[in-house]
Every structure is written in structure tokens, then in C-alpha cells.
Amino acid sequence: MSTRAYVGLGANLGGDLRQTLLSAVGALDALPQTRLAAVSSAWRSAPVDAGGPDFLNAVAALDTDLEPLALLDALQGIELAHGRERPYRNAPRTLDLDLLAYGDVTLDTPRLTLPHPRVAERAFVLRPLWELAPGMWAQPADGAWASQRIECCGPLLG
């Protein structure tokens, strides 16, 4: 039985960021034991706790039979195939894929925390996630309403 997983996509380095995200979506859809269920609109956002150009962000919904750590490994493989380097924390990147949620699984290991611990702090994740799963983070652990945070994100790229 497949599990619905949500993956945040972001890029702020390279030529055509929209093409980068489209390529990453294609790679997600090609993962074994995985089906691409939906993709949000693309949203532009300024870097958070980092420098560099603006990001283009989206969220993909996957139905997968991969276990969470196997899915994380696959996501990191897609990042590497797109030239991702990690010279320092929050460095600009050619592609960033974050496993935001994996069904109802909660996990806290050195490699992976589920749900992603900073989802409720990031309008650039909440807004596209809201398109795919309205209300999913309606009441984050910190007590702030996600719908209020979504209002600060913009503008939608056509």
C-alpha cells in the first residue's frame, strides 16, 4: 500500500529555474515504486537565512512504496544529478529537495526528521503545499496558523 509523501522543491542557481524544477519533477515521477500524484504552482521567494538570488519553489505529492530513508536517498541522488553542492549551511543551490511529510509518520533521526521541522516557518513551502493539501498544517506545533503565514508568500508565477 502506497504512502502519500510531500516533497518541497527549490532552486536558485543555474539558468532556467523553471526548467530545473520540471526536470526534478520528471525525476521524481521516474523513481521506482513511486507515482507522481500532483505538483503545485511555482512560487518565487527570497532566500531565508542565506544570500544569493531568489528561489523558485514548488511542492510535489508522491504516492510511494519506498521507505522514508530510501526516499530521502533517492531525493539526494536527484539533487546530485542536478549539480547540488553543499559547501556550507543554506548555500545557494541548483536544486533542493526536502521530504516534508511521509503519510502520518513521525521520525526524529540524525538523517531525517518527519514531518520536516521548519515547514510551519516557511511560507514558500506552506503556500504550494496548501494547493495540494489544504489544511494539512492548519495548526502547526508552534501554535501559529499556517493560513496566516501563507498570506505573506507571493507572487504566483503564471
pLDDT for 156 equals 40
pLDDT for 121 equals 78
pLDDT for 151 equals 46
pLDDT for 145 equals 40
- What beta strand segments (E) does the chain contain? 3-11, 34-39, 43-45, 55-64, 96-102, 107-108, 113-114
Structural contact between residues 41 and 112, judged by C-beta atoms closer than 8 angstroms = no
Structural contact between residues 72 and 90, judged by C-beta atoms closer than 8 angstroms = no
Render pLDDT for 13-51 as a digit per residue (tens, 0 to 9): 888 999 999 999 999 999 999 999 999 999 999 887 777
Q: Which of 84, 122, 127, 149 is catalytic?
A: 84
104 tagged catalytic: no
pLDDT for 149 equals 44
Interval 137-155 mean pLDDT: 47
Q: Which of 73, 93, 118, 122 is catalytic?
A: 93
Interval 88-104 mean pLDDT: 84
Question: How much is the mean pLDDT over the chain?
Answer: 84
Q: Which of 96, 122, 127, 149 is catalytic?
A: 96
The pTM for the full model equals 0.85
In the numeric block, the cell 504552482 is attached to 41
% of the chain at pLDDT higher than 70: 82
98 tagged catalytic: yes
Query: Cα-flanking dihedrals φ and ψ of residue 97, to 5°?
Result: -120, 115
**Where residue 143 falls among pLDDT bands split at 50, 70, 90?**
very low
Identify the weakest region by mean pLDDT among 48-57, 71-80, 114-123, 133-142. Answer: 133-142
More confident residue, 157 or 107: 107
96 tagged catalytic: yes
Q: Which of 4, 29, 44, 98 is catalytic?
A: 98
Q: Set out the domains of the chain in order of their start, with CATH numbers.
A: 3-150 (3.30.70.560)
